[in-house]
Amino acid sequence: MNNPITIAIDAMGGDNSPDKVIEGIKLHSNTSRNVNYKIFGAKDLINPLISKFEISKDRFDLIHTENIVLGEDTALSAAKRGKDTSLWLAIDSLKNNNAQAIVSAGNTGALFLISKLNLKMIENIDKPALSALWPSKKGMNVVLDLGANIECNTKNLIDFSIMGSALHKALFPNENPIVALLNIGSEELKGKTIIKEAYQILNDKNFSLFKFKGYIEGNNIMDGDVNIIVSDGFTGNIALKTAEGTSNFIINELKSAITNSFLGKLSSIINYKNLKNFKNKLDPRLYNGAILLGLNKPVIKSHGSTDSIGFANSLKVCEQTIRGQLIDQIKVNIK
Amino acid sequence: MNNPITIAIDAMGGDNSPDKVIEGIKLHSNTSRNVNYKIFGAKDLINPLISKFEISKDRFDLIHTENIVLGEDTALSAAKRGKDTSLWLAIDSLKNNNAQAIVSAGNTGALFLISKLNLKMIENIDKPALSALWPSKKGMNVVLDLGANIECNTKNLIDFSIMGSALHKALFPNENPIVALLNIGSEELKGKTIIKEAYQILNDKNFSLFKFKGYIEGNNIMDGDVNIIVSDGFTGNIALKTAEGTSNFIINELKSAITNSFLGKLSSIINYKNLKNFKNKLDPRLYNGAILLGLNKPVIKSHGSTDSIGFANSLKVCEQTIRGQLIDQIKVNIK
Grouping H, G, I as helix, E, B as strand and the rest as coil, residue B72 is: coil
Confidence at residue B113, expressed as pLDDT on a 0 to 100 scale: 93
Q: In the predicted model, is pLDDT for residue A66 greater than 70? A: yes
The mean of the pLDDT values for chain B is 91
Q: Using CA atoms, how far apart are residues A88 and A13, in angstroms rounded to an integer?
A: 12
pLDDT tens-digit profile of B136-145? 999 999 999 9
- Sheet containing strand A299-301, edge to edge, reads A60-64, A35-41, A5-10, A101-104, A299-301, A290-293, A129-135, A140-144, A228-230, A178-182, A211-216
Confidence at residue B323, expressed as pLDDT on a 0 to 100 scale: 96
Confidence at residue A252, expressed as pLDDT on a 0 to 100 scale: 82
Q: Which of B135, B136, B271 sits opposite A264 (nearest CB)?
A: B271
Same domain, A150 and A272: yes
> Looking at the complex, does the CB of residue A151 fall below 8 Å from at least one CB of chain B?
yes
HSE toward the beta carbon, residue A141, CA cutoff 13 A: 27
pLDDT band at residue B272 using 50, 70 and 90 as cut-offs: low
Q: In the predicted model, is pLDDT for residue A270 greater than 70? A: no
Q: Is B250 domain-assigned?
A: yes
Which B residues in the span 266-325 are in contact with A, Cβ-Cβ below 8 Å? 266-268, 270-271, 273-275, 277-278, 281-282
> Looking at the complex, does the CB of residue A248 fall below 8 Å from at least one CB of chain B?
yes
What letter does residue B189 receive in the DSSP assignment?
T
> Looking at the complex, does the CB of residue B184 fall below 8 Å from at least one CB of chain A?
yes
Confidence at residue A325, expressed as pLDDT on a 0 to 100 scale: 96
Same domain, B30 and B143: no
The mean of the pLDDT values for chain A is 91
pLDDT tens-digit profile of B91-108? 999 999 999 999 999 998
Of A176-190, A249-263, B237-251, the poorest mean pLDDT is in A249-263
> Looking at the complex, does the CB of residue B257 fall below 8 Å from at least one CB of chain A?
yes
Closest residue of chain A to B279, computed from CA coordinates = A254
Residues of chain B with pLDDT > 90, as a percent, come to 76
Q: For the residues B234-250, what does the mean pLDDT come to?
A: 91
Same domain, A46 and A88: yes
Same domain, B241 and B154: yes
Higher pLDDT, B124 or A261: B124
Q: In the predicted model, is pLDDT for residue A254 greater than 80? A: no
Q: Which of A151, A242, A273 sits opposite B239 (nearest CB)?
A: A242
Distance from CA of A70 to the nearest CA of B (A): 18
Q: Is B329 domain-assigned?
A: no
Same domain, A310 and A289: no
Same domain, B110 and B200: no
The residue from A293, A309, A326 where one domain ends is A293
Same domain, A312 and A275: no
Same domain, B19 and B105: yes
Q: Which of A192, A238, A270 sits opposite B182 (nearest CB)?
A: A238
Confidence at residue A1, expressed as pLDDT on a 0 to 100 scale: 63
Same domain, B71 and B161: no
Q: For the residues B122-133, what does the mean pLDDT come to?
A: 94
Distance from CA of B3 to the nearest CA of A (A): 38
Q: In the predicted model, is pLDDT for residue B188 greater than 60? A: no
Q: State which residues form the domain around B88.
A: 1-121+294-324
CA dihedral A181, A217, B299, B197 (to 10 degrees): -50
Residues of chain A with pLDDT > 70, as a percent, come to 91
> Looking at the complex, does the CB of residue A249 fall below 8 Å from at least one CB of chain B?
yes
> How far is the CA of A31 from the CAs of A34, A55, A312, in angstroms?
10, 13, 10
pLDDT band at residue A248 using 50, 70 and 90 as cut-offs: confident
Q: For the residues B18-22, what does the mean pLDDT come to?
A: 97
pLDDT band at residue B194 using 50, 70 and 90 as cut-offs: very high
Do residues B232 and B157 make contact, with C-beta atoms less than 8 angstroms apart? yes
Residues of chain B with pLDDT > 70, as a percent, come to 91
Confidence at residue A63, expressed as pLDDT on a 0 to 100 scale: 97
Same domain, A112 and A250: no
Same domain, A261 and A176: yes
What ipTM was estimated for this complex? 0.88
pLDDT band at residue B256 using 50, 70 and 90 as cut-offs: confident
Q: Which residues in A lie closer than 8 A to residue B193 (C-beta atoms)?
A: none
CATH number at residue A35: 3.40.718.10
Of A57-61, A123-127, A279-283, A306-310, the poorest mean pLDDT is in A279-283
Confidence at residue B64, expressed as pLDDT on a 0 to 100 scale: 97
Confidence at residue A266, expressed as pLDDT on a 0 to 100 scale: 62
Distance from CA of A11 to the nearest CA of B (A): 26
Q: For the residues A285-301, what does the mean pLDDT come to?
A: 91
> How far is the CA of A150 from the CAs of A127, A288, A292, in angstroms?
11, 23, 15
pLDDT tens-digit profile of A190-208? 678 899 999 999 999 999 9
φ/ψ bin of B152: left (φ > 0), alpha (ψ from -120 to 50), beta (otherwise): beta
Same domain, A106 and A131: no
Confidence at residue B260, expressed as pLDDT on a 0 to 100 scale: 64
Of A60-74, A131-145, A257-271, the poorest mean pLDDT is in A257-271
For chain A, how many structural domains are there in total? 2
pLDDT band at residue A249 using 50, 70 and 90 as cut-offs: confident
Q: Which residues in B lie closer than 8 A to residue A151 (C-beta atoms)?
A: 192
Of A218-227, B109-118, B271-280, the poorest mean pLDDT is in B271-280
